[in-house]
């Protein structure tokens, strides 16, 4: 042996190690068993209505980009996302703007001419109503 260590030193080291590990584990258990109330109403889902040719996934992804996505929650009149907190009204108007930019995948066609976003502050469900119109769509 290069380093001379007494047996009781090793024993105490072991006890200290076990104590720290089990202590950390207990802290984790306390976190895992805590039923902390969520801070606000979490966004639970996006319902899309009125779309015909534009796929639901495209619209949903765009609305999620405006902040209405998994992990965001509503606290009073504020929408708290993983990136920042913005007033709910602003988030809704952003979502309406973004929904109108939804394309048919693989093209630059944006046939959605109007979008209406409603947020239920109690359940966290976001309802998006869109209107498609192909007679005015621009081809660039």
Partner 1 sequence: MKGKIIKLLGIFLLFNILMGSAAATLNVIVVTDPSGQDPNGFAGGSMSFAQNMFQSTFILSKEHHFTILSGGEGEAVPRLMAIVDAINILKNGGTAQEAASAASGYPGIRIMCGGPGRGAAVGGSFDAYVVIVEDDGTIKVTPYSGGLAVLPPGKKGAIIHLRNTHGNPMYGTASSVRKEVAIKIGKMIRDGYPATVIVSEVFKDVAKNAGEKYGGGAVNVASGVTTGDMFTPANLNETGYPMDQPYAKVCPHCGWSAGYPTAENYQVCPLDGTPLKTIYAYDALRDAITVSESAISVSVYGSDEAGVIQTTREIVKATVKEEGYSEEAIAKAINDAIDNGLIIGVNYVEPKDINVKPGSRAVGVYYTPLPDDRTAPPMDLPLGSGFFEILGDIQTALGCVLLILLLFRSTLISSFRR
Q: Which is nearer to partner 1, 69 or 100 (CB)?
A: 69
Long-range contact pairs involving 111-118 (C-beta distance under 8 Å, separation at least 24):
111/53, 111/54, 111/137, 112/51, 112/54, 112/59, 117/63, 117/68, 117/92, 118/92
CA dihedral 78, 80, 84, 87 (to 10 degrees): -20
Q: CA-CA distance, 139 to 75, in Å (whole number)?
A: 41
Q: How far is the CB of 41 from partner 1 (least distance, A)?
A: 10
Q: How far is the CB of 90 from partner 1 (least distance, A)?
A: 21
Q: Which is nearer to partner 1, 1 or 139 (CB)?
A: 139
Q: Which is nearer to partner 1, 53 or 101 (CB)?
A: 53
Binding site for partner 1 (CB under 8 A): 9, 12-13, 15-20, 22-39, 42, 44-46, 52-53, 55, 57, 60, 64, 69-71, 73, 104-109, 125, 134-135, 137, 139-140
């Amino acid at each position: 042996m290069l380093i001379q260590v007494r047996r009781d030193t090793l024993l105490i080291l072991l006890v200290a190690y076990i104590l720290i590990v089990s202590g950390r584990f207990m802290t984790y258990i306390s976190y895992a068993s805590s039923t902390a109330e969520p801070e606000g109403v979490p966004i639970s889902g996006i319902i899309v209505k009125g779309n015909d040719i534009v796929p639901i996934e495209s619209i949903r992804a765009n609305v999620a980009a405006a902040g209405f996505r998994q992990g965001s929650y509503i606290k009073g009149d504020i929408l708290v996302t993983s990136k920042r907190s913005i007033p709910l009204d602003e988030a809704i108007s952003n979502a309406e703007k973004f929904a109108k930019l939804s394309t048919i995948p693989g093209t630059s066609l944006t046939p959605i001419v109007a979008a209406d976003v409603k947020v239920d502050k109690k359940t966290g469900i976001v309802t998006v109503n869109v209107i498609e119109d192909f007679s005015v769509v621009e081809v660039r």
